[in-house]
Amino acid sequence: MEEEAFTLARVTRATGGGRLEVHLQDGTEGVSVPISGTMKFKGRASTKADRANCMCAGDVIIIRGSFASAKLTPGYASVVKRKFEKLGVTVPGGFFTTIGSGDTEEDAFEFERTEEKKTEAEATEEADIDIDAL
């Protein structure tokens, strides 16, 4: 029975031809992995860094089987980092830091989980807006 393996990796550079050089969560460096067909760009991917699924140097990605299949946003990478710490999963130092931002692991993005409660008057005021009158 075969099972698919999910591994986290940090992109060290895009080598071209639909491949990335990555640093795996187990510490292995310089591994070349192909980008999954659904994630590939046609033509100069370096000009497409504004797209959410573009995998650039410094991004934390998910390797499914042997293909780079997904990219974690910095917020999700922070959540995964906290989960790994809680479960005792070890990763290389600096694995979850953001390259080029000057961030360290201690400054990493944190979610604000508090909800702002509105007063009854504020809720009523929002509900009474007449769009046709605008």
Name all domains of the chain by residue range, CATH numbers in brackets: 6-107 (2.40.50.140)
Q: Cα 65 to the chain's mean position, in Å?
A: 18
More confident residue, 84 or 47: 84
Lowest-confidence region among 10-14, 45-49, 90-94, 103-107: 103-107
Task: Please give the DSSP secondary-structure letter assigned to residue 98.
Answer: P
pTM for this prediction: 0.64
pLDDT of residue 46: 62
User: Residue 125 has what pLDDT?
Assistant: 59
Spatial CA neighbour of 15 closest among 42, 38, 46: 46
